[in-house]
Amino acid sequence: MTEHIMGNLLIIGGAEDKEKDCKILKYYYREAGEKRSRICVITAASEDGEQAGIIYRDLFMKFGCSNIDVIAIQDRASANVGENIEKIVQASGIFFTGGDQLRITAMIGGTAMGMALQHLYEQGVIIGGTSAGASVMSDTMIIGGQGDTPGEDLIQMAPGLGLLKGIIIDQHFAQRGRIGRLMTAVSLNPYFLGIGIDEDTSVHIRNDGNFRVIGRGTVLITDASCAVISNVDDLNNGKPLALAPVKVHILSEGWRFNITERTSFLSEAEGFSMNHSELSKKEMKQEATSS
């Protein structure tokens, strides 16, 4: 699964703190280069992105960034304007605001800006996105669906920007009860990892295949690659989903996840670098010794 691990992405579940500690946004600012950073805020997800752009511009300036551009993409023509592409190419950080993820792909997909973003991604420039700006990171994204019981009527999907392959992102996860639609999305291709991110919570995916959780909520990862039971072909008949077994990881700040190995572990900074399989082996050995 090495196709997952190229890049440098900060994916935010939405409603990140903008008034108190601003932990996630300050983390993004540091990763973009702090006072040396050149940040481009892209507001393509909103028909009227001016206000959203101003909010993030003012915050990054408050942190110390003196070189920041807000790029309002209202049509595909503006995603091909040379001046906008030049700003993107020179950026040390790209940030997508929230809104409607379909607008991002409709306005940017296949344009000069879309190709420039792919190049920056491959070069390791940090690309951040919140809410709709998070969902659009993957090659397949969720664009709609409600409810708690997994089934086909819960899910609508479309192509994303294609930065992450084999992963589906969902945002506002716990707050909007979206586990049903994420499980349905994963059932349609159990090879895909599903990642549900709570509000004011983020994952930072690096090019070594590891991501870390940052923020006050949790991240839920679903892995159905080992499933031997699936009735996904019956969902058209209105039946609820049956899918088993499914591995689920629920991680909070301080925990990391390896996308290639599909294992979770505590950060060394937290005094722990042992993944869960190694931990289980150690516990079994200790039990055997004590008995």
212: part of which helix (H) or strand (E)? Answer: strand 210-215
Q: pLDDT band for 147, please (50, 70, 90 cuts).
A: low
Categorise residue 88: left if φ over 0, alpha if ψ from -120 to 50, beta otherwise.
alpha
Domain ranges of the chain: 2-260
pLDDT tens sequence across 13-52: 999 999 999 999 999 999 999 999 999 999 999 987 788 8
What's residue 145's pLDDT? 85
Helices 112-123 & 101-108, crossing angle to 10 degrees?
110
Give the residue, 258 or 268, on which the prediction is more confident: 258
Catalytic residues: 131, 172, 199
Check: CB of residue 78 under 8 Å from CB of residue 72.
Answer: yes
CATH architecture of 2-260: 3-Layer(aba) Sandwich (3.40)
Name the pTM for this structure: 0.90
Place of tokens 């994916």: 11
Tokens of 52: 């959203």
Q: What's the CA gap between 96 and 42, in Å, rounded?
A: 5
